[in-house]
Amino acid sequence: MSRAGVLNQIDTRLATITDPAFVAVLRGEPLAIAGTPLLAFWVSGRSLTAQSFTNDGSTTRITIRAYFRMQTSTDVRESIELDVWDAMYSVHNALAGDSELGGNCSDLRIESAEAGFIEMSGSAFRTVSIPIEVDILEEVTVVP
pLDDT of residue 106: 84
Among the listed residues 78, 11, 69, 80, the one whose alpha carbon sits nearest the alpha carbon of residue 42: 11
Which pTM value belongs to this model?
0.88
Higher per-residue confidence, 7 vs 55? 7
- CA distances to 77, 122, 128, 135 from 141, in Å: 51, 47, 36, 15
Where does the pLDDT of residue 34 fall: very low under 50, low under 70, confident under 90, or very high at 90 and above?
confident
Sequence spans of domains, the chain: 3-141
User: In the CATH scheme, what is the homologous superfamily, with its name and number, of domain 3-141?
Assistant: Phage minor tail protein U (3.30.70.1700)
pLDDT of residue 139: 61
